[in-house]
Structure 1
Amino acid sequence: MKPESSIRARLALFTSAAVGALCMVFSIVLLFAINKMATQNLTKEVTAVGELTAYYVDRGQLVNPLPPIPQDLIRPVQVVAPDGRVVAATKDLQKRPPMAHFTPKSPGRVASAVVCDSVFPAGGCHIVVAQRVYRDGDWTIYSAAPTLPFFVYPGVASILVAGTVVFTGAIAYGARHTVTRSLRPVDAIRAQLDHIRSNNLSHRVPVPVAKDEIHRLARSVNDTLDALERTLEQQRRFCSDASHELRTPITAIRAQMEDALLASEDAGLHRLCDDVLPSVERLQSITSDLLTLTQLDAGVPGVRKPVDLTELITMELKSHHLNGMVVHRLAPGVMVRGDRSRLRQLICNLVQNAQRYASSTVTVTLRRVDRDPEAPGGVVELEVLDDGAGIAAEQRETVFQRFTRLDTARSRDAGGIGLGLPIARQIAESHGGALTIQDSDRGARFVVRLPSHS
């Protein structure tokens, strides 16, 4: 059985079972109410028979066997004298002991009870009503009638049973039909997903017109397919670019090794190492950057500790061989919370990028912004500015795409492979900050904003 058919069957079964149970409860309550009303009416009738007999006792017109009682009111009746003897009774109770032994508490009062297995010829349980009359003593009149079965009217019970069956069946059919119609869009979505899986991700599932849960499901599926298509396209482009970048140093190493083999007498070990080492270093740099990007994409958390950003920038500037003049304006004691090694890589990537394209000077500025509407706790701004040609406004987001180099940066002699800025932005974002390119009078002005840690 298909899963969707199983869902239809389960929903129809559950609905019919619930409706059937409710119908049964309703039928039982209705029959109970009918039984109670009929029992109350029967008790009133039995009481009326006793009251009529009490009238004759009170007037001294008692005869045995009883009546005088109207034919339509004849019930088992006994008249018990003050000494406890049955002095009069209907024909079916002649020469029998009293049908009950309870009495009303005072004359004129009435008491009733259900008495079983008594003096009644038919046996069973009877509703017995006792009434008291005072005439030279307390006389007790007992009148009775057989108790009613729970199904007072068999026809009503039959109608309720038949109605329950028909109503439950109709509800089950209606529920199954409704669920089947409701699940048709789901079947269409599933079929389209199977088609997409076997073909390509350019297709989308049909979205129902009705603004219901299935409509929202189809929208979510299409949004997911959009994101998946973008991700796969990015991965394909990334793999293509990575293969291209890796092929260059590998090809260079191979060529240098082949040259050394062809001219083994002229190629010394030191010369070969000097020729191969730059390509190995480039290969190592690419591999390291790819590993960092993989960790950032996977959301691998770093060690988050308070970091003195002023000290970290100072150490980073001292540890590099800087070409040209570097001007730094660093506010003292600027603290952030994050991974020290990744923050150091962010600083290194920005400074190296600025050095690569600066004409003469790189300016590094660090300041604290205490009042910021987007960050009540304050933010830290790191600005790296070079005096080079700058970046056009329409290309400021392009430089953060992986393996992207602008026209002025396409020469591999500059040392860039197009991963430094994407890594720097992802590091900033993983620390709850942002990396953007902002306007400047000259050159490219990179600004990092991170939450401050007091």
Structure 2
Amino acid sequence: MKLENCSLRGRLALFTSAAVGVLCIVFSIVLLFTLNRVATQNLTKEVTAVGELAGYYVDRGELVNPLPPISNNLIRPVQVVDPHGRVVAATRDLQHQPVMAHFFPKSPHQVASAVVCNSVLPGGCHIVVAQQVYRDGDWTIYSAAPTLPFYVYPGVTAILVTGTVIFTIAVAYGARRTVTRSLRPVDAIRAQLDHIRSNNLGRRVPVPVAKDEIYQLARSVNQTLDRLEDVLEQQRRFCSDASHELRTPITAIRAQIEDALLAPEDVALDALCNAVLPSVERLQSIAANLLTLTRLDAGVLYERESVDLAELVAAVLNSHQATRRIVQDLAPGVIVRGDQARLRQLIGNLIDNAQRHASSTITISVRQTNGDSPLAGEVAELQVLDDGGGIAADQRETVFQRFTRLDTARSRDAGGVGLGLPIARQIAESHGGTLTIQDSNTGARFVVRLPLPQPPGG
């Protein structure tokens, strides 16, 4: 089975056990190497002691061949070589054998050692120690012992191998068990997510008690579900409202056409077209507004250019058929950067809204101001004020919801479908600005604030 097909707990357990196994093997090798080095040093000292004992007999002139018995714990192959390079004495196992080595210590008071592999010393390689004793010349004593294997003591190696296997298995089991317990909240979150459908978005994933990374994950998932539920609820409400708004003009058109079909001889074509045309225009307006909202929601990019806000307001007023008296207070030279067509639509929507609800007068002003506070920096401000009935403070955010009309004044007879103000706010926000309703002595005062372009190098 491929590693990528394993579960997370399996991969973590495998990785942990492999890492621990490698560490145990490295530790065992280092330990065996250290033991081998220490044991070799001790063996060299022991071989040196055997040679010193033979040197004692040479120094006293009591040399015999074969060499006199050595204590059982110091029995080692030994050769005594005279100043002429002849073997004059040796232990019983090296009788009638040539010199076991051909190296010498640098001085009589030093000891030289080397690993020698030859036929004189049977049984493989040996550690040979050379010492010199002066008696009518330099006598050399060679003592030897078989080299130690790398593992030194088989029992220690067996313990290390067994311990490595047991410890690796224990760590793998512990790691898998720990990961399994740690991932239980994740399994609970996944199981709950699997049961969440579009008709039960009110369900939430369980949040573990321990405030760890999984706790943060569960909180983020629940927050995402909250936002998703809100978005879907808005979509349902939007679809319901859009269907309701579209059904009204369609029903009117159907009724007028059916009446014409029942008595075609009594219906004039121009009269029928004039009766149907307002409903068609309303359908066209709703479809255009829905398309605009779709593009705004999708965040479609647009070209930014420098726009004189006062000139744009004046152009919009010239293209509108005024039904109320309009008072203009437009400060020149208030430049913003944005999409001219969208800003024109924003201004037009606010003017249309004001004309529907104003009693007699609409006041439009453009200026450059510090915004809400001096620390906020200068902004371009557009105000549209009507002298109508106004909007209660607790309903000022409601009017920016799609298809919202507060009272009979905002009815279909007045021409509004509840999309103009939401579109205007989204256009303002897409330009980095705001659209709010603020206090006024009479009527409703809509305030648009847009950021001014940064000066070069600012």
- 1: CA distance between counterparts of 2:66 and 2:130? 19
Deviation at 1:138, TM superposition (A): 2.7
Q: Percent identity at matched positions?
A: 76
Structure 2 CA distance for partners of 1:27 and 1:274, relative to 1, 3 Å: same
Q: TM-score, normalised by structure 2?
A: 0.93
| 1:192 and 1:204 in contact (8 A); partners too | yes
Which stretch of structure 1 is more off in the superposition, 5-14 or 82-91? 5-14
The equivalent of 2:114 in structure 1 is 113
Distance 1:375 1:269 in 2: 64
SS of the residue corresponding to residue 303 of structure 2 reads coil
Q: Deviations over 1:407-438 (max 9, x none)?
A: 14332111110001111111111111111111
Question: Residue 403 of structure 2 contacts residue 419 of structure 2 at CA under 8 Å; is this kept in 1?
Answer: yes
Q: Name the residue aligned to 1:99.
A: 100
Post-superposition offset of 1:315: 1.3
Corresponding residue of 1:56: 57
Distance 2:294 2:11 in 1: 46
Return the alpha-carbon distance in structure 2 between the equivalents of residues 186 and 377 of structure 1.
Answer: 47
Q: Which has the larger displacement, 76-85 or 414-423?
A: 76-85
1:156-175 Cα distance to aligned partner (Å, 9 max, x none) = 11111111222222222222
For residues 51-79 of structure 1, what are the alpha-carbon distances to aligned partners after superposition, in whole Å with 9 as ceiling and x for unaligned? 22223323333222223533321211122
Displacement of 1:353 in angstroms is: 0.9
Tell me how far apart the structure 2 counterparts of residues 33 and 392 of structure 1 sit (CA, whole Å).
88
**Per-residue deviation, residues 180-203 of structure 1 (Å, max 9, x unmatched):** 222222222222222222851122
Bigger Cα displacement from structure 2, 112-121 vs 391-400: 112-121
Post-superposition shift, 1:94? 1.8
The secondary structure found in structure 2 opposite 1:144 is strand
CA distance in 2 between counterparts of 1:103 and 1:331 reads 109
Given that 1:47 and 1:143 are in contact with CA atoms closer than 8 Å, whether structure 2 keeps it comes out as yes
Q: How many residues align?
A: 452
CA contact (8 A) 2:328 2:364 kept: yes
CA distance in 2, matches of 1:199, 1:286: 29
- Name whichever of 202-211 and 306-315 sits farther off: 306-315
- The residue type equivalent to 1:129 in the other structure is V
Tell me if structure 2 keeps the 8 A contact 1:439–1:445.
Answer: yes
Question: What is the CA distance between 1:377 and its match in structure 2?
Answer: 5.6
Structure 2: segments with no counterpart, 5+ residues: none
CA separation of 1:92 and 1:377: change in aligned 2, threshold 3 A: farther
Residue aligning to 1:189 = 189
What displacement does 1:326 show?
1.5
TM-score normalised by L of structure 1: 0.94
Deviation at 1:297, TM superposition (A): 1.2
Q: Using the alignment, how far apart are the partners of 1:451 and 1:199 within structure 2?
A: 42
For residues 411-450 of structure 1, what are the structure 2 equivalents within 5 Å?
Answer: 411-450=411-450
Displacement of 1:145: 0.9
Measured against aligned partners, the alpha-carbon deviations of 1:252-275 in whole angstroms (never above 9, x if no partner) come to 111222222233233333222222
Aligned partner letter, 1:221: V
Aligned partners of 1:375 and 1:451 also within 8 Å: no
| Alignment partner, residue 209 of structure 2 | 209
* Closer/same/farther in 2, CA of residues 119 and 295 from structure 1, 3 Å limit: same
Counterpart in the other structure of 2:332: 332
> How well do the aligned residues superpose, as a CA RMSD in angstroms?
2.2
Q: Distance in 2 between matches of 1:268 and 1:98?
A: 139
Structure 2 CA distance for partners of 1:408 and 1:391, relative to 1, 3 Å: farther
Q: Which residue of 2 aligns with 1:257?
A: 257
Which amino acid letter does the alignment assign opposite residue 152 of structure 1?
V
| SS at structure 2 position matched to 1:208 | coil
Give the letter aligned to residue 74 of structure 1.
Answer: I
Q: Would the aligned equivalents of 1:354 and 1:384 in 2 still touch at CA under 8 Å? A: yes
Q: Does 1:147 align with 2:183?
A: no
Mapped partners of 1:372, 1:275: distance in 2: 49
Q: Give the corresponding residue for 1:303.
A: 303
Residues 68 and 374 (structure 1 numbering): CA distance in 2 closer, same or farther, change over 3 Å? Answer: farther
Return the alpha-carbon distance in structure 2 between the equivalents of residues 4 and 425 of structure 1: 50
